[in-house]
């Protein structure tokens, strides 16, 4: 019984990691597209914060969906964990690039949207299991 639970838990963790990697692939593609749009079109830089938020929400919904597909139950929890991991990594990258940590309104909103979006994706994903 313990070996089965251990194997299932490992599969869930691997699914969680894979889901976050997929979410970051989506994020990278969207951010590169936005950078190209700003560089080669008349897209305004003022659109960047909105694009970042939309991209992050879509990415965590996908991450939550994907993470919950390997879960036996509580897909919304696995989705929220995936969203939380995504947000923590993204905030870590922001801190690393900017050289300091300042908790502002955008980071709070980003974290909340990531956790809630992941939970929504997880709730949907648990119902679409293979």
pLDDT number for residue 3? 58
pLDDT number for residue 30? 95
How many Å apart are CA 19 and CA 22, to the nearest integer? 5
Residue 56: burial class (beta carbons within 10 Å; 0-12, 13-18, 19+): buried
Contacts of 19 (CB under 8 A, 6+ apart): 62, 63, 64, 65, 66, 67, 82
pLDDT number for residue 6? 66
Arithmetic mean of pLDDT, 94-122: 89
Give the predicted TM-score (pTM) of the model.
0.86
pLDDT number for residue 1? 47
Please tell me the least confidently modeled range out of 33-42, 50-59, 68-77, 79-88. Answer: 68-77
Coil, strand or helix at 105: helix
C-beta of residue 28 within 8 angstroms of C-beta of residue 35: no
pLDDT number for residue 107? 85
Ramachandran bin of 99, using left for φ above 0, alpha for ψ from -120 to 50, beta for the remaining angles: left
As a whole-number percent, the residues of the chain with pLDDT over 70 amount to 93
C-beta of residue 125 within 8 angstroms of C-beta of residue 79: yes
């Amino acid at each position: 019984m313990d070996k089965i639970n251990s194997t299932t838990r490992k599969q869930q963790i691997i699914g969680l990691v894979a889901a976050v990697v997929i979410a970051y692939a989506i994020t990278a593609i969207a951010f590169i597209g936005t950078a190209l749009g700003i560089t080669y079109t008349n897209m305004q830089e003022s659109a960047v914060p909105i694009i970042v938020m939309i991209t992050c929400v879509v990415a965590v919904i996908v991450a939550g969906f994907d993470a919950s597909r390997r879960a036996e139950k509580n897909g919304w929890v696995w989705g929220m964990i995936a969203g939380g991991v995504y947000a923590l990594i993204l905030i870590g990258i922001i801190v690393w690039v900017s050289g300091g940590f300042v908790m502002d309104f955008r980071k709070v909103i980003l974290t909340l949207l990531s956790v809630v979006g992941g939970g929504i994706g997880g709730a949907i994903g648990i119902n679409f299991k293979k």
